[in-house]
Structure 1
Amino acid sequence: MAAAVAALGLAVVPGAAAQDRVVVTNGLQMDHGAGVTLCTLGPVGTDNAGRLVGITAAHCYGGDDVYFPGKRELGPIGKYAFVSQEQAFHDYAVIVFDPAKVTLSANGPALRIDKVLDGGLPAVGSNVCKDGRTTGKTCGLVGSNAGGLIASFAVNMPGDSGGPLVVARNDGTATEWAGIVTRVALTMPPFIFTSAKNILDDIATRGPDAPGAGFTPVSD
């Protein structure tokens, strides 16, 4: 498992509790157990058990604990609950956040995600957009989707791994989650994304109580 770290970005908001919560969204960075912020968080939402969860790339894993950057005095705000060992077609991990420390939002830096794309796999020829900590929002057509791996012209670079992918419409970016950034390959198109279909289908194989099972993006 590569020792890169997951990334999401967070902002502090006032709260009534003894300590303020942090707002976690798609497309943002996060501080890992190793204290490095290299990757990007995908969609955030809830699962069947009502847990607050986020999805990122498995190869971003760098330690179980997830912290708010520059706010380690808060302690861990979440932990990795699952990291896929098979990363060719299922390069994803599930983070479970502490509800006493975290508030989720559908509104990321560049994308809003409040639903899953119907079927979880964008069609060949459709336009998709991704967000990542390195290259920000980029868009491009889907060239193939064989095996649930999406090859697109939406540019991604190191650091964007785990970042969210959504379908796009003629009037701009839609809010339907379609996958996460995985890698760059020697193919055309070269930018590879693991589809929401592959991720959600794989989570379902672990049962209805598994972390992330029944994932529903947050709508607030």
Structure 2
Amino acid sequence: MLVSRTALVFAAASAAALLGTATAAAQTDRTPPAIGGGSGILVDSRVGCTLTTIGRDSAQRLVGLTAGHCGEPGATVVVEGDPDGATAGRFVYSDHTLDYAVIEFDSARVTPVNQVGGTTITGLGGPALFPNVVCKRGSTSGTSCGVVWGDVRATATETWTQMCVMKGDSGAPVVVGSTLVGMVNAYLGVGCFGPEVGTNITSIMHDLNTRGEIGAGYQPL
């Protein structure tokens, strides 16, 4: 049976259209990667850090926090382990005094959660005091806990603890139960033998709200 060239062209165009529709549907059906306090993030596709927390600010923007030394405003954020490597958000503010940063996420590209591993964040609280025990969830070293030494340098903005922290854990949430009390910023030792130093979440919230920009009025999920 002979088939006209017009018919062949029409059939090819129809097949291409169906293929395009199927591809678009597959992309639409893709579940965005889950991300929450304790998730690993890649900054500008090269620097590995940990997200402290994710939630909404007073304008209902989806925002998160991490350590300030992880990136500068404009830096892109990819959820660690996302097979597509899609940009999920960008740094919008970075403070090098308190060492914290604000990330604004694209709600269509992530699935925000309040539990990562065994760490759940349901609220914000004041600094932990000696001899309390706090825990952190880092993307490199996972979950570890340790005794609180307190604000050794009397800065009123940081707390020292005896938790194991490694490279890539910067920004990791520090919790008492399900209450976020701080983030991991530095480790003053070799391996897991030196104290961890972190910024208190109350100091970060005060600065965020005083500035009144993206992140102000933040509340976790």
Establish whether TM, by shorter chain, passes 0.5.
yes
Regions of 4+ moved over 6 Å: none
> What residue is the counterpart of 2:150 in the other structure?
144
> Is the 1:143–1:189 Cα contact (8 Å) retained in structure 2?
no
2:38 maps to 27
Paired residue secondary structure (1:30): strand
Give the counterpart of 1:76 among 78, 82, 87.
87
Tell which deviates more after alignment, 63-72 or 193-202.
Answer: 63-72
Report what 2:174 is aligned to.
Answer: 165
Q: TM-score, normalised by structure 2?
A: 0.77
The corresponding residue for 1:95 is 103
Q: Is the aligned partner of 1:211 residue 2:219?
A: no
> Which residue number corresponds to residue 47 of structure 1?
57
Do the aligned partners of 1:40 and 1:56 also contact (CA within 8 Å) in 2?
A: yes
Contact 1:140 1:154 in 2 (8 A): yes
SS at match of 1:156: coil
Q: Check conservation: 1:166, 1:176, Cα contact below 8 A.
A: yes
CA separation of 1:55/1:22 partners in 2, compared to 1, >3 Å: closer, same or farther? same
How big is the shift at 1:73? Answer: 5.1
Instruction: Give per-residue Cα distances to partners, 1:51-80, cap 9 Å, x unaligned.
Output: 111110011116611124465857421111
Contact 2:40 2:49 (C-alpha < 8 Å) held by counterparts? yes
Cα pair 1:149 1:192 within 8 Å, conserved: yes
Q: Closer, same or farther in 2 for the Cα pair 1:21/1:192, shift >3 Å?
A: same
Structure 2 SS opposite 1:201: helix
Specify which structure has the higher proportion of helix.
2
* Runs of at least 5 residues in structure 2 that lack an aligned partner in the other structure: 1-25
Aligned amino acid, residue 59 of structure 1? H
Equivalent residue runs for 1:185-196 within 5 Å: 185=188, 190-196=195-201
Matched to 1:164, the amino acid is: P
Q: Specify the alignment match of 1:106 in structure 2.
A: 114
Unmatched 5+ stretches in structure 1: 1-14, 168-173
In 1, distance between residues paired with 2:179 and 2:142? 18
Distance 1:73 1:111 in 2: 26
Match of 2:186, SS state, is: strand
CA contact (8 A) 1:19 1:101 kept: no
Pairing partner for 1:181 from 179, 184, 203 = 184
- Aligned-residue Cα RMSD (Å) equals 2.4
Match of 1:10 in 2: none
Determine the C-alpha separation between the residues in 2 that align with 1:198 and 1:49: 21
Name the structure 1 match of 2:204: 199
Structure of higher CA gyration radius: 2
The residue aligned with 1:8 is none
| Alignment coverage as a number of residue pairs | 189
TM-score, normalized by length of structure 1? 0.78
In structure 2, give the amino acid aligned to 1:27: G
1:17 Cα deviation from its structure 2 partner? 4.5
Q: Distance in 2 between matches of 1:37 and 1:110?
A: 24
Shift in CA distance, 73/137, structure 1 to aligned 2, threshold 3 Å: closer
Query: Whole-Å Cα distance in 2 between the matches of residues 40 and 159 of structure 1?
Result: 6
